[in-house]
Amino acid sequence: MKKQMLFLAVLFFLVTVAGFAEESIESLTTAMNMMWLVLTGAFVFFMQAGFALVETGLTRAKNATNIIMKNLMDFCFGSIVFWMIGWGLMYGTDHFGGLIGFSDFFKGPMGDPNFYRDWFFQVVFAATSATIVSGAMAERTQFKSYLIYTVFISAFIYPVSGHWIWGGGWLSKLGFHDFAGSTVVHSVGGWAALMGAIVLGPRIGKYVKAEGKVTVKAYPGHNIPLAALGVFILWFGWYGFNPGSTLSGVSTDIARVAVTTTLAGAAGAVSAMFVSWIWFKKPDASMTMNGVLAGLVAITAPCGVVSPGAAVVIGLLSGVIVVLSVEFIDKVLKIDDPVGAVSVHMVNGVFGTLAVGIWGNVDGVAVGVLHGGGFYQLGVQALGVLTVGLWAGLASLVLFLAIKGIFGLRVTEKEELMGLDITEHKAEAYSGFQIFSNM
């Protein structure tokens, strides 16, 4: 045994020495980048688990199998179509002055190693955008219609606006800055979530009309610990999402991005908790969790160009915004978003994108209003928010209306009341406890 160990040690030493002889700064950098992007890509992939748990925890037990299936399958369908079509539209050769990419579909057979690195890192972002929607459309959407939706957002909607910003398109040429995707990822998913929730309509019994007055009812989530675990997993995944978006394993920004990400998420939770404490008299758990996610979404665009102090301010504001937005969407607009996906991802995605134009503080990248950069950056950010919002909003509205017209989008009243687990999947999430109502 000892002899074997010795032999291995000698072999390792020889290989290392021989290896070093051929290393250069360039090849080491390539290796670092490869490792960094694949590692952080895996972190971002794990956010799928976070979304699945948050959405399951914040909805009713009779729909838990259904929401897990949606979260699983949107990644599986999305990743395949992103390879077939999405990548080519997002990172293919530019056409029409930065409007769309068009090449590299069904990329293969072997090709450049850097392609695989970049594709893997990007596909997990595309999947994050797609999976945001399942929360807002929870508890009432037909499973097959959701699958159709998820193919289209990953193949077309996300890659087109992604090309404008990350694929060398027209917004990036104007100097639009979205470090890790407040707009590219979160607001696109958020806009689709909003349109989905509008086209679907509210869950039965959410807004009850009695004597000319509409009362707003709550459907409490069935497992808050599960939702909290999901939030922790998402936060963990964000350390891949933001620091990974340096796109370089030797970047000196990695740690600073991790710090701003941490501070904004923490500050978002703090302010959401206090707002809910003052407003609802008690610190609300699910709202505080939404506050964490709001802070993380908001810092996603500016995390590379702001100071730690600015990150705290952005986080604190996002926590206030998310509570106000949830209340506004639920009680004033009466749009039923069971998990607050629109408020977290769309509203705070927009806020985070604009924050670049206010607190940005890196010369040559983004200098905001507060650091003497004038209003140019803020204007470009606002233009990006507007055009991406129009694109993602209109495209997903048309998509959902088309699915509604052709296949139907919503389950029947009876299926909704019984729960989607038993009606869509013929199985319960918690077998042995009859949680659904027999109709």
Partner 1 sequence: MKLIIAYIQPHKLNEVKQELYRSEIYKISVTNAMGCGQQKGFHESYRGVDIEVNLLKKVRIEIAVNDSFVKPTIDAIIRGARSGEIGDGKIFILPLEECIRIRTGETGSEAIG
Binding site for partner 1 (CB under 8 A): 417, 422, 426-428, 431, 434, 437-439
Number of H helices, E strands in the chain: 18, 6
Q: Which is nearer to partner 1, 58 or 422 (CB)?
A: 422
> Residue 169: which of 242, 91, 115 has the closest Cα?
91
Asked if residue 272 lies in contact with residue 348, where contact means CB atoms within 8 angstroms, the answer is: no
Q: Which is nearer to partner 1, 401 or 439 (CB)?
A: 439
Interatomic CA distance for residues 345 and 74, integer angstroms: 17
- In the bound complex, what is the minimum distance in angstroms from residue 412's beta carbon to partner 1? 14
Asked if residue 166 lies in contact with residue 184, where contact means CB atoms within 8 angstroms, the answer is: yes
- In the bound complex, what is the minimum distance in angstroms from residue 60's beta carbon to partner 1? 13
Cα Rg of the chain (Å, integer): 23
Q: Which is nearer to partner 1, 365 or 417 (CB)?
A: 417
Q: Which is nearer to partner 1, 3 or 414 (CB)?
A: 414
Asked if residue 286 lies in contact with residue 58, where contact means CB atoms within 8 angstroms, the answer is: yes
Q: Which is nearer to partner 1, 14 or 208 (CB)?
A: 208
Interatomic CA distance for residues 282 and 275, integer angstroms: 10
Q: What single letter denotes the amino acid at residue 197?
A: A
- Name 68's Cβ contacts closer than 8 Å, sequence gap at least 6: 52, 56, 429
- In the bound complex, what is the minimum distance in angstroms from residue 217's beta carbon to partner 1? 12
- In the bound complex, what is the minimum distance in angstroms from residue 427's beta carbon to partner 1? 5
Q: Which is nearer to partner 1, 102 or 430 (CB)?
A: 430
Interatomic CA distance for residues 373 and 418, integer angstroms: 57
Asked if residue 298 lies in contact with residue 310, where contact means CB atoms within 8 angstroms, the answer is: no
Reduced to 3 states, what is the DSSP secondary structure of residue 6? helix
Q: Which is nearer to partner 1, 186 or 203 (CB)?
A: 203
Interatomic CA distance for residues 138 and 55, integer angstroms: 8
Task: Return the beta strands (E) in 14-95 as ranges.
Answer: 94-95
- In the bound complex, what is the minimum distance in angstroms from residue 411's beta carbon to partner 1? 16
- In the bound complex, what is the minimum distance in angstroms from residue 307's beta carbon to partner 1? 54
Q: SS3 string of 147-160?
A: HHHHHHHHHHHHHH
Asked if residue 357 lies in contact with residue 380, where contact means CB atoms within 8 angstroms, the answer is: yes
- In the bound complex, what is the minimum distance in angstroms from residue 220's beta carbon to partner 1? 18
- In the bound complex, what is the minimum distance in angstroms from residue 80's beta carbon to partner 1? 24
What's the farthest any 2 CA atoms get from each other in the chain?
88
Asked if residue 352 lies in contact with residue 365, where contact means CB atoms within 8 angstroms, the answer is: no
- In the bound complex, what is the minimum distance in angstroms from residue 231's beta carbon to partner 1? 30
Asked if residue 74 lies in contact with residue 152, where contact means CB atoms within 8 angstroms, the answer is: no
Q: Which is nearer to partner 1, 35 or 208 (CB)?
A: 208
Q: Which is nearer to partner 1, 4 or 438 (CB)?
A: 438
- 253 phi and psi angles, rounded to 5 deg: -85, -10
- In the bound complex, what is the minimum distance in angstroms from residue 138's beta carbon to partner 1? 20
Q: Which is nearer to partner 1, 220 or 405 (CB)?
A: 220
Asked if residue 230 lies in contact with residue 48, where contact means CB atoms within 8 angstroms, the answer is: no
- In the bound complex, what is the minimum distance in angstroms from residue 210's beta carbon to partner 1? 12
Q: What single letter denotes the amino acid at residue 323?
A: V
Interatomic CA distance for residues 181 and 51, integer angstroms: 17
Q: Which is nearer to partner 1, 2 or 414 (CB)?
A: 414
